């Protein structure tokens, strides 16, 4: 039985006490629903795992012990992240026809996380968080039965706490050290002296990270919480010590199972960057724990050059080559990691064969910054690079048998140009359980989203390794539904597809590539039946400079303009930076996508008699040497003007009753729009940042620092022009925001400025919430606040 939240009248003024409220019935019926399960399949597409999540957390779930250290938020009692969203139930199904089978033997009141299939995919491991800690469990797939492997002694403070070994019978697990010392209470410990920080003259363009270490007591606690002992845990429950206590942060097993690459955090720690930029040491060990080779020692990474393509010097992105028994690969910058340095090639990729007694061998170089590789065999691998300044990405075909030879560029494009996207190369699991390129008949295979000017038509292509040309195997022809192609089975000639429509909940199918026939796999009920008759269409329009824009317009069910008159309009948007107008004007919206309301959008209000323009295009374009943000405010206003004009042209909206909303960078957008134009009657800004001088080393897509572009930072900051704000604004923020730059005090200070200047504003701080909102009490209250605000200012 669901807990009823008490209601009360709105407070007379901000600052008055207010109990949690519920939204009106039309919204509550949509918001209070049961989530459909998350579906995953094994690589052979023989078994389907269905994972069930609660729709919301309870506020009590957020009210737990928490330490914020090194960029992490940790529950020191259970030794796992305090922000984990847990699976509450699991079912398995044999495909295609068998019924779902409840996984037996799950712990009571399951809190499941870190779910991983074994290399042979006959087992599924997971962690369960009890009141006293995290335990490791395993499911036998064929029998759908779970059992416990360890007690609540697993250390998940640094993420996934275990790794399957190659035999699928053993796992390498981080366990809490025996006799671990007690944590220091910073409030009770008397400092031995002041906390001191020193600038050594080296430039460091770091974002405004949250939850960093601040004191020596924090350092002690972080080290205690990060320290584990590595054990081998077999499926029969036997434990054997692999390595003694250390701050283990990553373990990777070689494809042949003979070696383990183990990385540990080292000192000195940092007070200005999160833990993933602390020093690390990477060592290859044999299965018996014998050290084979120290393969990398990365120093503290506090100082990076400016730019999103800046990287540290030295070896990085080290991992096992998936198609070889025991070969490492890594990338190293040729430009010192500095995007400002002119260089014909930016990175070089090396391979290194066990036992690592010879130097690493150069394999190939990339024009842009290396961005990953998918291994296939001795003749074929696919690598990627990118360059943010130009939005360029290149895809390379690499012949690993010819080290040093130039890699062939097979795709060279603007990654924001979605109409030219060739798709992603498909992978399969090899015998070692590693993901490698799917290679059949001398070909690779791609699945693409299929965005075009005429609409979205996903496709499957066969890419010949000899010809370097793609041959189309299948292209969706659906015009009344949306189809997503998820995984290709080339041997069986079929693809896993997800199909949905405006009123039909997404379901999974096998589609035969030759005949097009569908085999239905799921039949999930529609939890939002009350929206099935809401009118939905993608509208396309242009702003004054010719940039193409679009948005998804929702109108109430049964709405008749002649009978019902013009409606108030709600616009929800999020700005995005582009380097060319062509890409900015492309449309990725599909009118046949299922109407799926969630607390982050305004779609609910279509059931309350409003017109809603959801996901309205708000591109910010800066071509050539011009930076997008140099004309940020002007482009925001033109985007808004074009959106309102397009809706008005349809004859369905009242231009004097338009509201706008956004979250995070979208909230920043809202505050600027309400300050710099008179197009809106009100606005809602959630979890935003409003003073860019408080994020001085860049934000969102801005690479320049405040000192590089002080005029841009000031002109973009609505805090600086708070005296011009005259439009009603609802400001909402989670009181425990953990997102870089959007500190809760950004909203608090902005509200104080607005209040002091007499602007019409309301501030709502949601207790215990981070950047996104999770607790049922808070989400329902948020919807109530927004509804009250709209009813007052738009109706």
| CA atoms of 530 and 508, how far apart (whole Å) | 23
| CA atoms of 316 and 296, how far apart (whole Å) | 9
Q: Which of 347, 614, 737, 787 is catalytic?
A: 737
Reduced to 3 states (helix: H, G, I; strand: E, B; else coil), residue 744 is helix
| CA atoms of 81 and 64, how far apart (whole Å) | 11
Q: What are 733-736's contacts with CB under 8 Å, separation 24+?
A: 733/686, 733/687, 733/688, 733/763, 733/764, 733/765, 733/766, 734/687, 734/765, 734/766, 734/768, 734/769, 734/770, 734/771, 734/772, 734/773, 735/765, 735/766, 735/767, 735/768, 735/769, 736/768, 736/769, 736/770
As separate numbers, helices (DSSP H) first and strands (DSSP E) second, the chain gives 10, 49
| CA atoms of 486 and 508, how far apart (whole Å) | 10
Nearest to 575 by CA among 680, 454, 685: 685
| CA atoms of 326 and 398, how far apart (whole Å) | 19
* Count of Cβ atoms closer than 10 Å to residue 3 Cβ: 7
Residue 793 among the catalytic residues: no
Chain centroid to CA 556? 32
| CA atoms of 631 and 621, how far apart (whole Å) | 8
Residue 664 among the catalytic residues: yes
| CA atoms of 150 and 136, how far apart (whole Å) | 5
Query: Which residues are within 8 A (CB) of 110 and not within 5 positions of it... i.e. 6 or more apart?
Result: 86, 87, 88, 89, 90, 128
Q: What is the DSSP letter of 699?
A: B
425-461 b/e (C-beta count within 10 Å ≥ 16 → b):
bbbbbbebbbebbbbeeebbbbbbbbbeeebbbbbbb
Q: Which of 254, 601, 664, 687 is catalytic?
A: 664
Q: Are 474 and 463 in contact (CB under 8 A)?
A: no
Pairing of strands 611-616, 567-573: parallel
Full strand arrangement of the beta sheet holding 361-366: 315-320, 327-333, 347-353, 361-366
Q: Are 368 and 394 in contact (CB under 8 A)?
A: yes
Q: Which of 771, 781, 787, 793 is catalytic?
A: 771
Reduced to 3 states (helix: H, G, I; strand: E, B; else coil), residue 620 is strand
Q: Are 366 and 406 in contact (CB under 8 A)?
A: no
Q: Tell me the catalytic residues.
A: 664, 737, 771
């Amino acid at each position: 039985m669901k807990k009823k939240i008490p209601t009360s009248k709105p407070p007379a003024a901000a600052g008055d006490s207010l109990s949690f409220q519920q939204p009106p019935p039309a919204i509550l019926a949509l918001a209070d629903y049961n989530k459909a399960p998350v579906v995953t399949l094994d690589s052979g597409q023989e078994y389907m795992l269905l994972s069930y999540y609660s729709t919301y957390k309870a506020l009590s779930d957020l009210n737990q012990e928490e330490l914020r250290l090194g960029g992490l938020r940790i529950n020191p009692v259970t030794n796992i992240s305090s922000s984990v969203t847990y699976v509450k139930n699991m079912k398995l199904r044999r495909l295609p026809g068998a019924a779902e089978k409840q996984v037996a033997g799950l712990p009571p009141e399951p809190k499941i996380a870190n779910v991983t299939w074994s290399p042979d995919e006959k087992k599924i491991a997971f962690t369960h968080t009890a009141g006293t800690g995290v335990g490791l469990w395993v499911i036998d797939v064929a029998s759908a039965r779970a059992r416990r492997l360890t007690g609540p002694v697993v250390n998940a403070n640094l993420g996934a706490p275990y790794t399957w070994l190659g035999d699928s019978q053993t796992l390498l697990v981080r366990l809490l050290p025996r006799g671990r010392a007690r944590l220091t209470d910073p409030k009770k410990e008397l400092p031995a002296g002041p906390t001191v920080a020193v600038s050594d003259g080296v430039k460091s363009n770091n974002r405004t990270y949250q939850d960093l270490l601040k004191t020596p007591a924090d350092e002690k606690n972080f080290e205690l919480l990060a320290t584990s002992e590595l054990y081998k845990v077999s499926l029969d429950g036997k434990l054997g010590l692999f390595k003694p206590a250390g701050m283990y942060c990553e373990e990777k097993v070689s494809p042949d199972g003979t070696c383990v690459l183990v990385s540990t955090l080292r000192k000195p720690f940092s007070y200005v960057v999160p833990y993933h930029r602390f020093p690390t040491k990477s060592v290859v060990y044999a299965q018996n724990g014998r050290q084979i080779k120290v393969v990398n020692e990365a120093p503290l990474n506090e100082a990076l050059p400016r730019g999103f393509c800046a990287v540290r010097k030295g070896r990085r992105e080290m991992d096992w080559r998936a198609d070889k028994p025991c070969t490492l690969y890594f990338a190293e910058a040729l430009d010192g990691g500095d995007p400002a340095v002119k260089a014909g090639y930016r990175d070089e990729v090396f391979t290194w064969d066990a036992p690592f007694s010879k130097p690493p061998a150069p394999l190939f170089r990339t024009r842009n910054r290396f961005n990953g590789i998918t291994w296939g065999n001795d003749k074929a691998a696919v690598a990627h690079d990118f360059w943010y300044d130009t939005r360029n990405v290149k895809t390379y075909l690499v012949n690993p048998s010819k080290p040093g030879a130039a890699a062939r560029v097979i795709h060279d494009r603007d990654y924001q140009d979605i109409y030219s996207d060739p798709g992603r190369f498909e992978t399969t699991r090899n015998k070692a359980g590693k993901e490698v390129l799917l290679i059949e008949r001398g070909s690779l295979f791609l699945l693409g989203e299929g965005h075009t000017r005429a609409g979205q038509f996903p496709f499957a292509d066969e890419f010949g390794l000899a010809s370097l040309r793609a041959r189309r195997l299948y292209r969706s022809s659906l015009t009344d539904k949306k189809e997503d192609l998820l995984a290709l089975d080339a041997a069986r000639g079929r693809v896993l597809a997800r199909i949905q429509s405006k009123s039909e909940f997404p379901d999974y199918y096998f589609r035969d590539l030759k005949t097009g026939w569908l085999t239905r796999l799921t039949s999930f009920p529609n939890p939002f039946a009350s929206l099935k008759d809401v009118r939905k269409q993608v509208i396309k329009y242009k702003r004054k400079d010719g940039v193409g824009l679009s948005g998804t317009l929702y109108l109430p069910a049964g709405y008749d303009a002649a009978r019902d008159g013009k409606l108030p309009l709600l616009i929800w948007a999020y700005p995005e930076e582009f380097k060319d107008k062509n890409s900015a004007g492309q449309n990725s919206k599909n009118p046949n996508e299922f109407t799926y309301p969630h607390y982050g959008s305004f779609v609910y209000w279509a059931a309350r008699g409003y017109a809603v323009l959801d996901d309205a295009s708000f591109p910010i374009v800066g071509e050539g040497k011009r930076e997008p943000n140099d004309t940020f405010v002007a482009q925001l206003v033109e985007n808004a003007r074009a959106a309102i004009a397009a809706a008005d042209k349809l004859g369905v909206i009242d231009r004097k009753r338009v509201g706008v909303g956004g979250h995070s960078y979208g909230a920043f957008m809202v505050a600027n729009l309400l300050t710099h134009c008179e197009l809106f009657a009100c606005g809602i800004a959630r979890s935003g940042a409003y003073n860019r001088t408080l994020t001085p080393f860049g934000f969102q897509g801005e690479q320049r620092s405040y000192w590089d572009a002080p005029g841009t930072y000031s002109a973009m900051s609505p805090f600086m022009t708070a005296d011009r704000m005259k439009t009603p604004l609802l400001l909402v923020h989670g009181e425990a925001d953990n997102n870089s730059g959007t500190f809760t005090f950004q909203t608090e200070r902005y509200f104080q400025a607005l209040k002091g200047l007499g602007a019409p504003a309301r501030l709502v701080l949601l207790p215990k919430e981070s950047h996104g909102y999770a607790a049922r009490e808070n989400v329902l209250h948020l919807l109530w606040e927004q509804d009250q605000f709209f009813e007052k200012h738009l109706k």
